[in-house]
Structure 1
């Protein structure tokens, strides 16, 4: 069997830049997987993906011209249909064999195998291996149909009658097995060995590829194109760093922007531009955003992270004199910066406080009122939280910050750049001379905005951020707007995780259920169903917390053990998890966990509520007397440690109960005939259960 390397390329019009990386990876991986499934690749075959603004390509090593033949077992029909009572072939079986080109003699070669609940007849046949032409034709069709295309377009082919659907119009198809063209077709194109290079920089408009392995090198030297996405990205990054270093500056780090620019150019050439320093009076976030989002420039920062008036342009051409390119880009960015400065100057003419009434005109939700009404609720909640966390002073600052938190939504700058909400509020608050705690809280109340984001930097920000997220979560749950499946239009999962992170990471002494109840009371529409709403919110948040804890390394058993008790303070959960993990390592842990599970089952089956009380005079058996004595010593110690917050030591203290617990279950009949003895022994078990399950439900650790 002969193996050669394979190259397949689709040459198209400019592809959507934000999708290019995924398109390239999907094209090459699907092509490889489909060829592999047909037996056309070797064990050590590997694929390399190429993706530039105008091409998707894949290079695959060690591809066979034809797959090896293989023996397969083919089902014919049920035994009851193919053979009569005497075991002879029925006409139906003979007809099937004749249709396969086999004679009656083939009956002797049949085997019987179970097919589900019935026995069937099978025959071993040799399946001819797929040819590369047929296999690649199939693979290309599968790869094209499975591309994660953001939006398909329909375009007409050259014949004027036919049309096809693809992400962008395709102009050529290249397929080389070694140096041989593979005769396949796709999107109305027939494969050849030619492609096109750079629109302006190529030595020749048409590049004839000699063989599969010369593709990348020929495109670079003859076509002025760096075909590999990763290679082109690395070259851009190298040039950016070199150009910035020449100015003793550093380019802003933005992987998404770097990916997008990589998808916009085929032959990157980094140039240095600059703008007038007067624009640096505008907050740097505004300037950075407009340069990145609108122009795809890389702003340059000084060693302190402060924006300078210089920026880097990633050009797709490399003229001998780049001044015209630089000048053109500088002229384009200047009006953008002027607009930002105009918005900033205009916005500062009105105070944030004067904008509060305008929030009444902004709809928040048709069942929850305007942003103005929402602001009133968030303010009341923030004041209450602030009072709990820091008294009157914190409550006052939290109330002011909450009142002003959404006012920058009315400003021109945020109207133009919604991504700057909160950030501009902070700048305008500082311009007005407001307390920095309040100003930073206005910016930070949106945090954490995503997984791994920073938390608010001060207590005022924590209070307002908690109030804002709780108002959203509780308010939407109260009107039945709950996430379903993959749909979460109001990002309530993210809001819940933000609340959980702030409570836990800041060790806030705020009981969770009481917090939800107090927030719900801020809504005028609360009904008799408020108990169900609170329960639903708690379940939702604990589900999110459970997933988060498992993602961070806790086992499902550890998480269940801690969360099944629904701790009032979420801030205690990390310590409880640590305690459970330490307890699980004790030699006594498996036996105590199993015993705890047994105790739980016994108490569940008991009639009526069992009180954790023991009458010492009713204790008869030595084992129950010993267990009661051990509990009398261990329980107070464990309880004291628990109350002092030393959960690990509290659980460790329980290790002393292993022997008396084992002895009790070996020698004592709990369900005694005497009702008083039975009740007393159940009371002893209830006392044991109470002692063992303050930190976590240890029965969840039982295997």
Structure 2
């Protein structure tokens, strides 16, 4: 065996779970490489290639040593005072320790040799004895065996299978049958270091140099691998298998685009990365084919047809240039016959009943109006402490009416109430029962069929938005109102019964709901105050809940702070703005931009430090809100510096307040920057805590007035270093 060569390891198994295949392949190769590096058998910069196909997990690792380099080892034994007597001879304790380590001290010569290897070195306050030795490098066979077992043990297996092995297998220690627990039954193990087989075993298999190709199209069975580097090419040419997951995925994507272009001008396959990954995990050598179904099925909403083709059949529907579904779709086949008509015909026969079911559900659902379904929500339990879905709908209606009254006129209130009443009715339809992912979407179609206004129908679909990060927001004001009401009902209800998210669990998606509320308030620039929103939602629950407004408000601001930091604002900027708990979240981005602009001014650092100093002074003076009054008597201003500060505030603060009231926060802070010089002079020349009570209170009042003026946009003291 050469000292260094490329290594190949492959586990050949029965069909692996497709949704887990990518992670399984990455984990298998990653842990193998990690373990080999840890044992000194692979370099830190060794190139690792992961292979994963429906029936194999593999790894190719470059420049792997046949034996790891020997390593010098220094081992601490014990303090010198314990290990050596007054004459420098080993004590019984040292002899016992050396024997426990397997060191030969049986003869005087052996003992003398060991003593010569002992080293004295400081160890804290005392001196200790250390034994220097050389640890032989681990051979590849032993190191790979350990790495292989570790890689198998750490595979992220979604569900483990158990199967039996006959006596005499590589991992059997006892006569008779042995049980193996693994993701799927394994049938082959390859371990090649260059051209040499590494004698390792796993899952009852001994390593060899043979693998297997495509079930039906392989040209050789089995496939003999002459070298670790021949793996991918041998599988491609002799086995009709593209073993690399990423290469196979790119090939499918290319074939999809080519087939779509061939099927018709301006057609394109629907983009779905999760489906593409899943199909990549289902085929070993892809062959994309064009199929079609009867045009009359296009009368069904395209979301239904797309979902059934994707979820149930793993097909790629074809869309036209306008994004409208056509009656053609793409199939990723695992075989490449000369005449593909049997394959396309079979897939067309398979999809037809699915589409027929969708059409049947759609036709049946439209026989009943959404409004007629609402009373049946009383039979659907929402939460054992919060009642049924119908009771929940009534709460959402009440909250939606309160929000709509703040945002619009009588029409908005009426439409929001109607949309809120019908928003959950499609949960009782056959289509949503079959495809829960279509809740809201089908409600919109059925609402339009019932003759409801478009704004109401859109709101029924949009009230779930945003469903995830980056999702679109509701299209119109009715949808925004109902979406806010729906999310606030969930948040207030769950916090009100103490059903809070933990670090690991958030079954009611309360974090997502809070972020949805934040996004709508900010991105839609809604003139709504957070405390007022929560206060409007609480009465809808009556006596069912405890008042959750304080912890829920904290929760929402925490989510907002995290979101703002992710957007690139510093923790100090975010803390400065959110310390004031701004009620209109739509103002927060403008406040942050103003704080960022203020921080670039030459006066910023000194004013932030002064602000912090003022806060500390007021805090020491007692409860700032009760003891110190923001009132100043000009007659009690004796020092020139306090007179100048008061005069500057009389000029600058009204201007800054006007700019603040106009929403120009950046200009407001920049105007306040003009107070730096008089503020600095005040602290240089004025004793705030004067012995005379009226002077002291007047100066504290001046500082309180200054503090309030400077901290309308943000708590500037949080910017101080």
After TM superposition, the score normalised by the length of structure 1 is: 0.97
- The 2-side partners of 1:657 and 1:85 are apart by 77
Unaligned runs of 5+ in 2: 105-109, 168-175
Aligned to 1:174: 190
Match 2:249 to one of 230, 233, 238: 233
Aligned to 2:478: 460
Aligned to 1:74: 75
The 1:627–1:312 alpha-carbon spacing in structure 2 relative to 1, beyond 3 Å, is same
1:215-254 → structure 2 map (5 Å cutoff): 215-247=231-263, 248=265, 249-254=267-272
Q: Secondary structure at the match of 2:448?
A: helix
Aligned to 1:644: 662
Q: Secondary structure at the match of 1:121?
A: strand
| Deviation at residue 591 of structure 1 after TM alignment | 1.5
Aligned to 2:297: 279
Aligned to 2:493: 475
CA contact (8 A) 2:386 2:544 kept: no
Comparing 644-653 with 34-43, greater Cα deviation is found at 34-43
1:270-304 Cα distance to aligned partner (Å, 9 max, x none): 11111111111000000000000000000111111
Comparing 42-51 with 258-267, greater Cα deviation is found at 42-51
The 1:240–1:93 alpha-carbon spacing in structure 2 relative to 1, beyond 3 Å, is same
Aligned to 1:614: 632
- Alignment of 1:295 with 2:313, yes or no, is yes
The 1:641–1:107 alpha-carbon spacing in structure 2 relative to 1, beyond 3 Å, is farther
Q: Secondary structure at the match of 2:540?
A: coil
Aligned to 2:103: 100
The 1:416–1:117 alpha-carbon spacing in structure 2 relative to 1, beyond 3 Å, is farther
1:384-437 Cα distance to aligned partner (Å, 9 max, x none): 211211111111111111111111111111111110000001011111221111
The 1:121–1:699 alpha-carbon spacing in structure 2 relative to 1, beyond 3 Å, is farther
Aligned to 2:12: 11
Q: Secondary structure at the match of 2:638?
A: coil
Comparing 515-524 with 102-111, greater Cα deviation is found at 102-111
| Deviation at residue 137 of structure 1 after TM alignment | 0.8
Match 2:589 to one of 549, 554, 574: 574
Comparing 108-117 with 389-398, greater Cα deviation is found at 108-117
| Deviation at residue 658 of structure 1 after TM alignment | 1.7
CA contact (8 A) 1:44 1:62 kept: no
- Alignment of 1:319 with 2:337, yes or no, is yes
The 1:488–1:119 alpha-carbon spacing in structure 2 relative to 1, beyond 3 Å, is farther
The 1:571–1:114 alpha-carbon spacing in structure 2 relative to 1, beyond 3 Å, is farther
CA contact (8 A) 2:465 2:516 kept: yes
- Alignment of 1:548 with 2:549, yes or no, is no
CA contact (8 A) 1:66 1:131 kept: yes
- Alignment of 1:505 with 2:519, yes or no, is no
Match 1:199 to one of 194, 204, 215: 215
- Alignment of 1:516 with 2:544, yes or no, is no
- The 2-side partners of 1:109 and 1:676 are apart by 82
Match 2:145 to one of 134, 137, 153: 137
- The 1-side partners of 2:257 and 2:123 are apart by 64
The 1:84–1:391 alpha-carbon spacing in structure 2 relative to 1, beyond 3 Å, is farther
CA contact (8 A) 2:37 2:44 kept: no
Aligned to 2:63: 62
CA contact (8 A) 2:385 2:544 kept: no
| Deviation at residue 13 of structure 1 after TM alignment | 0.7
Aligned to 1:91: 92
1:200-599 → structure 2 map (5 Å cutoff): 200-247=216-263, 248=265, 249-525=267-543, 529-530=546-547, 533-599=548-614
The 1:87–1:506 alpha-carbon spacing in structure 2 relative to 1, beyond 3 Å, is farther
CA contact (8 A) 1:97 1:103 kept: no
| Deviation at residue 86 of structure 1 after TM alignment | 6.9
CA contact (8 A) 1:279 1:338 kept: yes
The 1:165–1:605 alpha-carbon spacing in structure 2 relative to 1, beyond 3 Å, is same
Q: Secondary structure at the match of 2:385?
A: coil
The 1:657–1:109 alpha-carbon spacing in structure 2 relative to 1, beyond 3 Å, is farther
| Deviation at residue 84 of structure 1 after TM alignment | 4.4
Aligned to 2:162: 154
- The 2-side partners of 1:430 and 1:261 are apart by 36
Coordinate RMSD, CA, aligned: 1.6
The 1:594–1:124 alpha-carbon spacing in structure 2 relative to 1, beyond 3 Å, is farther
Unaligned runs of 5+ in 1: none
Comparing 618-627 with 210-219, greater Cα deviation is found at 618-627
Match 1:165 to one of 144, 165, 181: 181
Q: Secondary structure at the match of 1:103?
A: helix
Q: Number of paired residues?
A: 700
- The 2-side partners of 1:678 and 1:106 are apart by 80
CA contact (8 A) 1:180 1:211 kept: yes
The 1:109–1:633 alpha-carbon spacing in structure 2 relative to 1, beyond 3 Å, is farther
1:493-551 Cα distance to aligned partner (Å, 9 max, x none): 11110011001110111110011011001112256x52xx1001001111111111111
The 1:330–1:208 alpha-carbon spacing in structure 2 relative to 1, beyond 3 Å, is same
Aligned to 1:654: 672
- Alignment of 1:39 with 2:30, yes or no, is no
1:624-703 → structure 2 map (5 Å cutoff): 624-703=642-721
Q: Secondary structure at the match of 1:522?
A: helix
- The 1-side partners of 2:90 and 2:619 are apart by 64
Comparing 631-640 with 71-80, greater Cα deviation is found at 71-80
The 1:481–1:44 alpha-carbon spacing in structure 2 relative to 1, beyond 3 Å, is closer
Aligned to 2:170: none
Q: Secondary structure at the match of 1:573?
A: helix
| Deviation at residue 366 of structure 1 after TM alignment | 1.1
The 1:224–1:689 alpha-carbon spacing in structure 2 relative to 1, beyond 3 Å, is same
CA contact (8 A) 1:270 1:315 kept: yes
CA contact (8 A) 1:94 1:104 kept: no
- The 2-side partners of 1:43 and 1:390 are apart by 64
The 1:357–1:119 alpha-carbon spacing in structure 2 relative to 1, beyond 3 Å, is farther
| Deviation at residue 457 of structure 1 after TM alignment | 0.7
- The 2-side partners of 1:112 and 1:619 are apart by 75
| Deviation at residue 120 of structure 1 after TM alignment | 3.7
| Deviation at residue 72 of structure 1 after TM alignment | 2.4
| Deviation at residue 152 of structure 1 after TM alignment | 1.2
| Deviation at residue 327 of structure 1 after TM alignment | 1.1
CA contact (8 A) 1:425 1:442 kept: yes
- The 2-side partners of 1:107 and 1:389 are apart by 88
- The 2-side partners of 1:501 and 1:517 are apart by 20
Match 2:615 to one of 592, 597, 600: 600
Comparing 106-115 with 613-622, greater Cα deviation is found at 106-115
CA contact (8 A) 1:405 1:442 kept: yes
1:70-95 Cα distance to aligned partner (Å, 9 max, x none): 22221212445324467654221133
Q: Secondary structure at the match of 1:521?
A: helix
- The 1-side partners of 2:504 and 2:486 are apart by 24
- The 2-side partners of 1:304 and 1:119 are apart by 81
Q: Secondary structure at the match of 2:12?
A: strand
CA contact (8 A) 1:69 1:126 kept: yes
After TM superposition, the score normalised by the length of structure 2 is: 0.95
The 1:625–1:377 alpha-carbon spacing in structure 2 relative to 1, beyond 3 Å, is same
